[in-house]
Amino acid sequence: MQQPSECFKAELTMPSSRDKRNVLVLAICQGLFNSGRGLTFLAATLTGANMLGDDLRFATVPITMMLVGTAAGTIPSAHLMRWLGRKAGFIITSLIGTVGAILSMYALLDNSFIGFNFGIFLFGLYGAAAQQYRFAVADAAPDNFKAKAISLVLAAGVLGAFIGPETVELTKDVLGSTEFAGTFVALALFTLATGIIVIGIDIPRLTREEYTDKGRPLGEILLQPVAIVAVISATLGYVIMNLLMTATPLAMLVGEGHVFNDTKFVIEWHAVGMFAPGFFTGSLINRFSVLNVIIVGAILQAASVAIALIGSSVPHFWVSLFLLGIGWNFVFTGGTKLLTEVHTPSERAKVQGMNDFIVFTGMAIASLCAGTVYHFLGWQWVNFAALPMIVIILIAVMWLKISQRQLITDRQLEP
């Protein structure tokens, strides 16, 4: 098994035309998915606030339901792809997401908060499979191309930075007096499109030997130091980002009285920060090491919190959320790259599925807490809540760096 990139260099192999095509197809799917998810984060939060009136404690419940759906779908979708292959798994789950978007639209027309949340939950199930785009592109890629392939697929999410929020603006009133109902028709179209486009991927299914080989116990794999840091980085990096991003529309529109267009502008640039660095994050990882990139990402997230605590003007929100996005990209891409180093092909379904289950369970809790903490304590305390998690990421990464240096020293001392 390949050892952590901090210690050993993989043999250089040029990516094939198939590898490049997989990157292109999955990048387009990632862009469409992120457009839909960005649309949902903005529209679902505001829809929840509209339905609940002055009681904002549960305004983020729709986002929580999306993330609960994602958490619930992570392990089943990973095993579905192990059984049927990546392509079939992506197509089936895109159909589930399309149905969920349509149900959400009808629930809005019927003013059913429960029905709306159920539709969002189904979209979340699709989101669990869409999170596998980044892993799928690395399945057949040479080791030295994995980080770049992962970061390029994530980079395509920059499309969603503008397409998602702009779609909300264009569609929120198209079905008459029910605000945002038309937005979920657009969500259904985005989701269905991914199921059609993903037909173009070419990722080999597991061989008979790989499929029958169950690999090591999951606990043994996840207790490796590299795996521990991978899961901590991906989970807390995402939880921090989601906690602050989910509360931002409430803080801007309800708390500070900023207009919708200003809120949309901030969310758009936050998404740019999340995904645009993907065009070079892989190269940074190859040059400076994955652990150093994660450290920089955590520092950027801390800077985001500091700026949010300084003021609540539109420029403060803009710079804070932009830095938050860049920090997330470095931490999450680094965590994803680390995870690809700890498992064999036969083990990847259970390892990737459990990793994403942990990540999105944490995100679901964070999104629910975002509304509650904001309602009772305000925007500043939402930001304070992120600081301990940033410290944990930094401690975990430094621990792994020290462990790897000790490993190198021990090997040099061997006779």
What residues contact residue 10 under an 8 Å CB cut-off, 6+ apart? 2, 142, 143, 144
Q: What is the 3-state secondary structure (H, E, C) of 286-313?
A: HHHCHHHHHHHHHHHHHHHHHHHHHCCC
The pTM for the full model equals 0.78
In terms of Cα–Cα distance, which of 30, 40, 19 is closest to 94?
Answer: 30
* DSSP symbol at 206: P
Q: Which pLDDT belongs to residue 56?
A: 64
Backbone torsions φ then ψ of 218, nearest 5 degrees: -60, -40
The answer to whether 314 and 291 are in contact (CB under 8 A) is no
For residue 79, the SS3 value is helix
Task: Write out the chain's pLDDT in tens, 415 residues.
Answer: 444 444 434 455 677 888 889 999 999 999 999 999 988 988 887 887 777 666 666 777 888 899 889 989 999 998 899 899 999 999 999 999 999 999 999 999 998 889 999 999 999 999 999 999 988 988 877 777 888 888 899 888 888 778 888 899 899 888 877 888 999 999 999 999 999 999 999 888 877 777 777 788 999 999 999 999 999 999 999 999 989 998 898 899 888 889 888 988 998 899 889 988 988 888 899 899 999 999 999 999 999 999 999 999 999 999 999 999 999 999 999 998 899 889 888 888 889 889 989 998 888 888 878 888 888 888 999 999 999 999 999 999 999 999 888 766 656 555 5
> Within 13 Å and on the Cβ side, how many CA atoms surround 396?
25
17: exposed, middle or buried (C-beta count within 10 Å: 0-12, 13-18, 19+)? exposed
- Residue tagged 């035309």 (tokens): 17
pLDDT of residue 9: 42
CA distances from 205 to 21, 26, 28, 137, 294 (A): 17, 16, 21, 13, 31
User: What integer pLDDT is reported at residue 270 of this predicted model?
Assistant: 92
Half-sphere exposure of 226 (CA within 13 A, CB side): 21
259: tokens are 């207009």
* Cβ contacts of 393 within 8 Å, gap of 6 or more: 232, 233, 236, 237, 294, 298, 331
End-to-end CA, the chain: 23
CB 316 within 8 A of CB 398: no
Tell me the one-letter amino acid at 148: K
**Alpha helices by DSSP H, 53-112:** 61-84, 86-109
b/e string for 303-320 if b means 16 or more Cβ within 10 A? bbbebbeeebebebbbbb
Positive or negative torsion for Cα 215, 220, 221, 226: negative
Cβ–Cβ under 8 Å, residues 38 and 243: no
17-201+208-413 homologous superfamily: MFS general substrate transporter like domains (1.20.1250.20)
Residue-level pLDDT at 335? 94
Domain positions in the chain are 17-201+208-413
Q: How many CB atoms lie within 10 A of CB 104?
A: 33
